[in-house]
């Protein structure tokens, strides 16, 4: 069933990507929508990226850089904020000063965007929010495209419930270590809420979070934080890690502490090729997928805007859950390395 769903979602993504590619500005040079501004000039897009903290992020950046090319009719101005919101806001102001045609922001955190988005609006520059949501009034941006993070978390919890039931472990008291992403990022808020709700609700009294700390979505910080946590808690049954990179770090920390990580249920998010391989190798138990390949989809949004089309306010990526039952089939399609 899972496998079927995965194959279906992979097919949807592939067909969506193919659709984007075949209707790209480069492929339709007679289409005036491709070069609308001054017949032949490029569309300038400023992309305020979060940083380079993870494999997901690298794949996301690559996806934008390989889509928004001159050959495709675009001039991309790329900015890396190194996970610092002030830098990201400064980059957006710079895009406004330069008079770009479109701005795409992947907001580091959900809050703090009103002022600069109002400035973009006043300058008449449409803003697309991708990857993580910003908590602002709907008239300050055109559309959001990216993951549904609370749903990803709920999918991971459902997977765990199913796994425990299959192994006759549903009644066990379980200690969780919870490694959170960058605090205040939409991806952290949603994934954290799903676990917090499960622990306070359906599993109250049975599931305990013994440590809940941010590893800032990086492998190094994930390892460092996990090492510190293991000094006080050696009885860990589940690691719920909000991205693959922190998961790699946590596994190293478990090994260094002399704990067999294969005895711990390890739940991760994203779905890098390396993490999918680690499911096959028995190192990771479950990965809730998050799709980073948003470049062509944002390109498609821009083309629609150029055509005067109205877009939905939110478009969520189609996402699956991977475990030992479907990892092998997904491996060739997994992103990154």
Q: How far is the CB of 143 from ligand GYE (least distance, A)?
A: 17
Structure token pair of residue 68: 């928004």
Q: Is 219 near ligand GYE (CB under 6 A)? A: no
CA distance 286 to 302: 35
Which residue(s) pair with 288 in the sheet? 269, 321
Long-range contacts of 163-170 (CB under 8 A, 24+ apart): 163/265, 163/285, 163/286, 163/323
The C-alpha atoms of residue 57 and residue 319 are separated, in whole angstroms, by 17
- The least distance separating ligand GYE from the CB of residue 23, rounded to whole angstroms, comes to 26
Q: Is 291 in the site for ligand GYE (CB under 6 A)?
A: no
Closest approach of Cβ 221 to ligand GYE, in Å?
A: 11
- Cα–Cα dist 182/186, whole Å: 9
Of 243 and 320, which has the nearer Cβ to ligand GYE? Answer: 243
Least Å from the CB of residue 179 to ligand GYE: 12
Nearer to ligand GYE, 125 or 290 (CB): 290
Among residues 25 and 271, whose Cβ is nearest to ligand GYE?
Answer: 271
Closest CB to ligand GYE among 185 and 301? 185
Distance CA 290, CA 337 (A): 15
Among 243, 297, 317, 320, binds ligand GYE (CB under 6 A): 243
The number of residues that bind ligand GYE (CB under 6 A) is 13
Write a three-state SS string for 168-234. CCCCCCEEEEEEECCCCCHHHHHHHHHHHHHHHCCCCCCEEEEEEEECCCCHHHHHHHHHHHHHHCC
Q: Shortest distance, CB of residue 184 to ligand GYE, whole angstroms?
A: 12
- Provide, rounded to whole angstroms, the least separation between the CB of residue 132 and ligand GYE: 5
Give the Å distances, CA to CA, from 301 to 39, 73, 187, 197, 298: 20, 14, 22, 34, 5
**Judged by CB, which is closer to ligand GYE: 53, or 101?**
53
Question: Whose Cβ is closer to ligand GYE: residue 76's or residue 179's?
Answer: 179
Contact between 273 and ligand GYE (CB under 6 A)?
Answer: no
Interaction between residue 270 and ligand GYE (CB under 6 A): yes
Tokens read off for 260? 């067999």
Give CB contacts under 8 A, 24+ apart, made by 221-224: 221/246, 221/249, 222/179, 222/246, 222/247, 222/248, 222/249, 222/250, 222/253, 223/248, 223/249, 223/250, 223/252, 223/253, 224/249
* CB 185 to ligand GYE: min, Å: 6
**Residue 90 half-sphere exposure toward CB, CA atoms < 13 A:** 9
248 near ligand GYE, judged by CB under 6 A: no
Interacting residue with ligand GYE among 25, 46, 147, 190 (CB under 6 A): 147
Q: Which is nearer to ligand GYE, 131 or 285 (CB)?
A: 131
**CB nearer ligand GYE, residue 242 or residue 285:** 242
Buried b (16+ CB within 10 A) or exposed e, 154-178: bbbbebbeebbeeeeeeeeebbbbb
When asked if residue 131 is in the footprint of ligand GYE (CB under 6 A), the reply is yes
Interface with ligand GYE, residue 155, by CB under 6 A: no
What residues numbered 5-64 form the site for ligand GYE, per CB under 6 A?
A: 53-54, 56-57
Measured from the CB atom, is 187 or 198 closer to ligand GYE? 187
Which residues form the interface with ligand GYE (CB under 6 A)? 53-54, 56-57, 131-132, 147, 187, 217, 243, 269-270, 290
């Amino acid at each position: 069933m899972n496998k079927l769903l995965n194959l279906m979602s992979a097919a949807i993504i592939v067909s969506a990507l193919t659709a984007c590619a075949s209707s790209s500005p480069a492929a339709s040079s007679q289409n005036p929508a491709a070069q609308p501004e001054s017949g032949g000039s490029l569309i300038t897009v400023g992309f305020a990226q979060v940083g380079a903290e993870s494999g997901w992020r690298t794949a996301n950046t690559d996806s934008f850089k390989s889509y928004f090319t001159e050959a495709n009719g675009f001039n991309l101005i790329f900015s890396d904020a190194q996970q610092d919101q002030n830098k990201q806001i400064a980059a957006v102001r710079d895009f406004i000063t330069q008079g770009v045609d479109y701005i795409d922001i992947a907001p580091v955190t959900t809050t703090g965007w009103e002022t600069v988005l109002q400035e973009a609006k006043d300058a008449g520059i449409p803003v697309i929010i991708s990857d993580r949501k910003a908590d602002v009034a709907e008239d300050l941006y055109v559309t959001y495209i990216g993951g549904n993070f609370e749903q990803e978390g709920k999918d991971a919890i459902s997977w765990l419930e199913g796994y425990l039931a299959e192994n006759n472990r549903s009644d066990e008291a379980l200690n969780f270590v919870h490694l959170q992403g960058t605090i205040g990022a939409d991806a952290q808020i949603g994934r954290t809420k799903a676990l917090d709700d499960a622990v306070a609700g359906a599993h109250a009294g049975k599931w305990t979070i013994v440590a809940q700390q941010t590893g800032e979505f990086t492998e190094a910080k994930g390892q460092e934080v996990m090492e510190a946590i293991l000094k006080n808690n050696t009885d860990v049954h589940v690691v719920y890690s909000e991205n693959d990179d922190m998961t790699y770090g946590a596994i190293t920390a478990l090994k260094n502490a002399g704990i067999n990580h294969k005895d711990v249920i390890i739940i991760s998010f994203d779905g890098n090729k390396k993490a999918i391989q680690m499911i096959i190798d028995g190192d990771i138990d479950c990965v809730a997928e998050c799709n980073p390949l948003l470049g062509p989809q944002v390109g498609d949004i821009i083309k629609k805007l150029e055509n005067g089309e109205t877009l939905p306010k939110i478009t969520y990526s189609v996402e699956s859950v991977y475990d030992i039952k479907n990892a092998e089939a997904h491996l060739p399609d997994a992103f990154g390395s």
